[in-house]
Structure 1
Amino acid sequence: MTGRSTEVTAVTPARQWTSVTRTESSEPMFDAAARGELILKRCVCCRKHRLPRKNVCRRCGYADADWVVASGDGILVTWGVHPARERGAADEPFGLVELLEGPWMESALDAAPDDLRVGQVMTVAFVRGLEGDLYPVFRIAAEDGI
């Protein structure tokens, strides 16, 4: 998945992207996003993928993991909408995307709520939060199928 644009023009350009706070444990995710990469942890024992915030493998209980670049593609499992915070602002869709590698990732969605449907193919994009860091969001994939 390397080579994706490190800053994507949002489908919803009027949207102000909320910042996701950089912490010591989230630093690798932010660094990868700056390179246009979505990363996951992969268990060194059983090779199962897990989200960066997960410290122990759900399959085997092993803690050690390698960082790997994910495909950035997945399927929309479910979604909802945060009501607009300010009068005249757009509602903010969010959802769960099942990544091709297996984990389900919570994410903001860069799409109009009327365009979303469960089972849709999604792809990662990177947007700049209010604090200046890039972070991953998902949008509807350009092609039908992964």
Structure 2
Amino acid sequence: MTASHKPVPKPTPETQPFWDGTAEGRLRIQRCDACSRHYFYPRPACPHCGSDDVTWVTAGGRATLYSYVISHRPAPGFEQDGPYAIAVVELEEGVRMMTNIVGVEITPENLPLDIELRVVFEQRGDVHVPLFAPASAVDDAPTGAAT
């Protein structure tokens, strides 16, 4: 496999626990201990109630497709991937995150809204980026092939 020229995220002190989780094959999000709501993107205080009493938890890795756009003009580093889907997925914990859809031909017919998805991870440099694939593709993959 050739080296990827895709952009590599740079962890910050606030996001390091997220990236530590992805390196272990776990999707981690934050949960507020005061109001019991999950949230994403990582930040030091709950966006719902303002409490700084927050905990990192491992999400189940299940999501549904909330919205997407198919890019036919690749951004730098994605020239070999076109067309590709830039998507917003909704995790079963109720938070939404931006990602890419993989593991399926990128056509509107293959990407109905609310399709069930599962997290997979792609290594880029020193980090593992969470991507999502149709659940049927992940569930049918040989053990270890989806991560």
**Normalized against structure 2, the TM-score is what?**
0.76
Give the C-alpha shift of residue 91 in structure 1.
2.1
Per the TM alignment, residue 104 of structure 1 is displaced from its structure 2 partner at its CA by 0.7
Q: Residue in 2 aligned with 1:113?
A: 106
- What amino acid is the match of 2:132? F
Counterpart residue number, 2:74: 84
Give 2:128's aligned residue. Answer: 134
Rate the CA distance shift 1:45–1:92 in 2: closer, same or farther, 3 A. Answer: same
Q: Partner residue of 1:67? A: 56
Q: CA deviation at 1:88?
A: 6.6
CA change 1:88–1:99 in 2 (3 A) is closer
For structure 1, the 5+ residue unaligned runs are 1-14
**CA offsets 1:50-74 (integer angstroms, 9 cap, x no match):** 1142433233221220010000101
Structure 1 pair 45/142, CA: closer, same or farther in 2 (3 Å)? same
Identify the range of structure 1 (111-120 vs 25-34) with the bigger mean alpha-carbon deviation.
111-120
Task: Spell out the pairing of 1:2-17 with structure 2 (5 A cutoff).
Answer: 17=6
Residue of structure 1 in register with 2:143 after alignment: none
2:117 to 114, 122, 146: 122
Q: Is the 8 A contact 1:39 1:70 kept in 2?
A: yes
* SS in structure 2 at match of 1:31: helix
Extract unaligned runs of 5+ from structure 2: 138-147
- For 1:60 and 1:85, the matched residues in 2 are separated by 37
SS in 2 for 1:113: coil
- Rounded Cα–Cα distance in structure 1 between residues aligned with 2:99 and 2:79: 23
| Paired-residue identity, % | 24
Q: How many residues get paired?
A: 131
Structure with more relative contact order (C-alpha pairs < 8 Å, separation 6 or more):
1
